[in-house]
Protein backbone atom coordinates (compact mmCIF):
# COMPACT_ATOMS: atom_id res chain seq x y z
CA UNK A 1 0.00 0.00 0.00
CA UNK A 2 1.33 3.34 -0.95
CA UNK A 3 1.48 6.37 1.26
CA UNK A 4 -1.15 8.10 -0.89
CA UNK A 5 -3.56 5.17 -0.41
CA UNK A 6 -3.06 5.27 3.35
CA UNK A 7 -3.62 9.02 3.38
CA UNK A 8 -6.86 8.64 1.37
CA UNK A 9 -8.09 5.90 3.73
CA UNK A 10 -7.30 8.05 6.77
CA UNK A 11 -9.13 11.04 5.26
CA UNK A 12 -12.15 8.86 4.39
CA UNK A 13 -12.15 7.36 7.89
CA UNK A 14 -11.98 10.82 9.49
CA UNK A 15 -14.76 12.13 7.24
CA UNK A 16 -16.95 9.14 8.11
CA UNK A 17 -16.21 9.56 11.82
CA UNK A 18 -17.06 13.26 11.59
CA UNK A 19 -20.34 12.46 9.80
CA UNK A 20 -21.24 9.98 12.55
CA UNK A 21 -20.50 12.59 15.22
CA UNK A 22 -22.71 15.13 13.43
CA UNK A 23 -25.50 12.58 12.98
CA UNK A 24 -25.42 11.61 16.67
CA UNK A 25 -25.52 15.28 17.71
CA UNK A 26 -28.59 15.85 15.52
CA UNK A 27 -30.29 12.78 16.97
CA UNK A 28 -29.58 14.05 20.49
CA UNK A 29 -31.15 17.43 19.63
CA UNK A 30 -34.21 15.79 18.02
CA UNK A 31 -34.78 13.71 21.13
CA UNK A 32 -34.24 16.79 23.30
CA UNK A 33 -37.19 18.40 21.53
CA UNK A 34 -39.29 15.25 22.10
CA UNK A 35 -38.33 15.14 25.77
CA UNK A 36 -39.18 18.82 26.25
CA UNK A 37 -42.56 18.25 24.57
CA UNK A 38 -43.24 15.24 26.81
CA UNK A 39 -42.61 17.43 29.87
CA UNK A 40 -45.20 19.94 28.66
CA UNK A 41 -47.62 17.15 27.76
CA UNK A 42 -47.58 15.77 31.31
CA UNK A 43 -48.57 19.14 32.74
CA UNK A 44 -51.24 19.66 30.08
CA UNK A 45 -52.78 16.30 30.98
CA UNK A 46 -52.76 17.14 34.69
CA UNK A 47 -54.42 20.49 34.07
CA UNK A 48 -56.91 18.82 31.72
CA UNK A 49 -57.99 16.59 34.61
CA UNK A 50 -58.27 19.46 37.10
CA UNK A 51 -60.37 21.86 35.00
CA UNK A 52 -63.68 19.92 35.16
CA UNK A 53 -63.37 19.84 38.96
CA UNK A 54 -62.88 23.61 39.00
CA UNK A 55 -65.85 24.20 36.70
CA UNK A 56 -68.09 21.93 38.79
CA UNK A 57 -67.08 23.75 41.98
CA UNK A 58 -67.81 27.09 40.30
CA UNK A 59 -71.19 25.94 38.93
CA UNK A 60 -72.47 25.55 42.49
CA UNK A 61 -71.96 29.27 43.09
CA UNK A 62 -71.95 30.96 39.69
CA UNK A 63 -75.41 30.28 38.28
CA UNK A 64 -75.33 33.41 36.11
CA UNK A 65 -71.87 32.88 34.64
CA UNK A 66 -72.68 29.90 32.43
CA UNK A 67 -71.06 31.37 29.29
CA UNK A 68 -67.73 31.82 31.08
CA UNK A 69 -67.83 28.24 32.33
CA UNK A 70 -68.69 26.99 28.84
CA UNK A 71 -65.77 28.98 27.37
CA UNK A 72 -63.37 27.29 29.76
CA UNK A 73 -64.66 23.81 28.91
CA UNK A 74 -64.62 24.55 25.18
CA UNK A 75 -61.06 25.88 25.38
CA UNK A 76 -60.06 22.84 27.45
CA UNK A 77 -61.36 20.56 24.71
CA UNK A 78 -59.51 22.54 22.03
CA UNK A 79 -56.25 22.20 23.99
CA UNK A 80 -56.82 18.47 24.43
CA UNK A 81 -57.52 18.00 20.73
CA UNK A 82 -54.40 19.92 19.67
CA UNK A 83 -52.29 18.07 22.25
CA UNK A 84 -53.51 14.66 21.08
CA UNK A 85 -52.76 15.56 17.46
CA UNK A 86 -49.35 16.97 18.37
CA UNK A 87 -50.30 20.19 16.56
CA UNK A 88 -48.08 22.74 18.31
CA UNK A 89 -49.48 25.69 16.31
CA UNK A 90 -53.09 24.86 17.19
CA UNK A 91 -52.05 24.21 20.79
CA UNK A 92 -50.66 27.74 21.07
CA UNK A 93 -53.95 29.22 19.88
CA UNK A 94 -56.02 26.94 22.10
CA UNK A 95 -53.82 27.75 25.11
CA UNK A 96 -54.41 31.44 24.54
CA UNK A 97 -58.17 30.87 24.65
CA UNK A 98 -57.95 28.69 27.73
CA UNK A 99 -55.77 31.14 29.63
CA UNK A 100 -58.14 33.98 28.76
CA UNK A 101 -61.11 31.92 29.95
CA UNK A 102 -59.39 31.00 33.20
CA UNK A 103 -58.42 34.61 33.79
CA UNK A 104 -62.01 35.65 33.32
CA UNK A 105 -63.24 32.83 35.56
CA UNK A 106 -60.84 33.75 38.38
CA UNK A 107 -61.74 37.43 38.02
CA UNK A 108 -65.48 36.63 38.20
CA UNK A 109 -64.87 34.50 41.29
CA UNK A 110 -64.08 37.77 43.09
CA UNK A 111 -67.83 38.53 42.89
CA UNK A 112 -68.69 35.34 44.79
CA UNK A 113 -67.32 35.45 48.36
CA UNK A 114 -68.66 32.00 49.22
CA UNK A 115 -66.87 30.53 46.21
CA UNK A 116 -63.62 32.29 47.05
CA UNK A 117 -63.87 30.94 50.60
CA UNK A 118 -64.54 27.37 49.41
CA UNK A 119 -61.57 25.11 50.25
CA UNK A 120 -62.03 23.06 47.10
CA UNK A 121 -62.01 26.17 44.91
CA UNK A 122 -58.93 27.56 46.63
CA UNK A 123 -57.10 24.26 46.26
CA UNK A 124 -58.04 23.90 42.58
CA UNK A 125 -57.15 27.52 41.84
CA UNK A 126 -53.72 27.06 43.44
CA UNK A 127 -53.21 23.74 41.66
CA UNK A 128 -54.14 25.15 38.24
CA UNK A 129 -52.05 28.28 38.80
CA UNK A 130 -49.10 26.05 39.71
CA UNK A 131 -49.64 23.97 36.59
CA UNK A 132 -49.87 27.15 34.48
CA UNK A 133 -46.53 28.31 35.87
CA UNK A 134 -45.02 24.88 35.18
CA UNK A 135 -46.32 24.94 31.61
CA UNK A 136 -44.81 28.39 31.09
CA UNK A 137 -41.43 27.18 32.41
CA UNK A 138 -41.52 24.02 30.31
CA UNK A 139 -42.59 26.02 27.26
CA UNK A 140 -39.40 28.04 27.61
CA UNK A 141 -37.32 24.86 27.77
CA UNK A 142 -39.19 23.35 24.83
CA UNK A 143 -38.69 26.45 22.69
CA UNK A 144 -34.99 26.47 23.57
CA UNK A 145 -34.68 22.81 22.50
CA UNK A 146 -36.55 23.59 19.27
CA UNK A 147 -34.30 26.57 18.60
CA UNK A 148 -31.13 24.53 19.14
CA UNK A 149 -32.46 21.80 16.84
CA UNK A 150 -33.55 24.20 14.11
CA UNK A 151 -30.31 26.18 14.11
CA UNK A 152 -28.20 23.04 14.02
CA UNK A 153 -30.03 21.46 11.06
CA UNK A 154 -29.51 24.66 9.06
CA UNK A 155 -25.80 25.09 9.81
CA UNK A 156 -23.11 23.81 7.51
CA UNK A 157 -22.01 20.98 7.50
CA UNK A 158 -24.87 19.70 9.69
CA UNK A 159 -27.37 20.65 6.98
CA UNK A 160 -25.88 17.98 4.71
CA UNK A 161 -26.42 15.22 7.28
CA UNK A 162 -29.85 16.66 8.25
CA UNK A 163 -31.05 16.63 4.65
CA UNK A 164 -29.51 13.25 3.94
CA UNK A 165 -31.29 11.62 6.90
CA UNK A 166 -34.52 13.64 6.83
CA UNK A 167 -34.15 15.69 10.02
CA UNK A 168 -36.96 18.26 10.14
CA UNK A 169 -37.35 21.61 11.84
CA UNK A 170 -39.57 21.58 14.91
CA UNK A 171 -42.29 24.16 15.61
CA UNK A 172 -42.02 26.68 18.44
CA UNK A 173 -44.85 26.74 20.97
CA UNK A 174 -46.12 30.33 20.77
CA UNK A 175 -49.14 32.03 22.18
CA UNK A 176 -51.00 34.74 20.31
CA UNK A 177 -50.35 38.43 20.76
CA UNK A 178 -53.61 38.67 22.72
CA UNK A 179 -52.00 36.68 25.54
CA UNK A 180 -49.04 39.04 25.68
CA UNK A 181 -51.17 42.20 25.68
CA UNK A 182 -52.06 44.04 28.87
CA UNK A 183 -55.11 42.67 30.62
CA UNK A 184 -58.12 44.98 30.72
CA UNK A 185 -59.11 44.48 34.37
CA UNK A 186 -62.05 46.88 34.03
CA UNK A 187 -63.57 44.71 31.28
CA UNK A 188 -63.14 41.56 33.37
CA UNK A 189 -65.21 43.03 36.20
CA UNK A 190 -67.64 44.90 33.95
How many other CB atoms sit within 10 Å of the CB of residue 127? 15
pLDDT digits (tens, 9 = 90+) for 138-174: 999 999 999 999 999 999 999 999 999 999 999 999 8
How many other CB atoms sit within 10 Å of the CB of residue 13? 10
| pTM for the structure as a whole | 0.80
Query: CATH classification of 3-189, choosing from 3.50.50.60, 1.25.10.10, 3.40.50.300, 1.20.1440.20?
Result: 1.20.1440.20
How far is the first Cα of the chain from the last one, in angstroms, to the nearest whole number?
A: 88
- List the chain domain ranges: 3-189
Amino acid sequence: MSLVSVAILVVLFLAAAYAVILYNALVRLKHGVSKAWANIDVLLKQRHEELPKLVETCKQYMQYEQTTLEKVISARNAVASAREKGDVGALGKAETGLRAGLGQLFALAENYPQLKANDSFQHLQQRITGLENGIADRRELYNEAVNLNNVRIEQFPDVIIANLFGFKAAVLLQFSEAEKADVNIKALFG
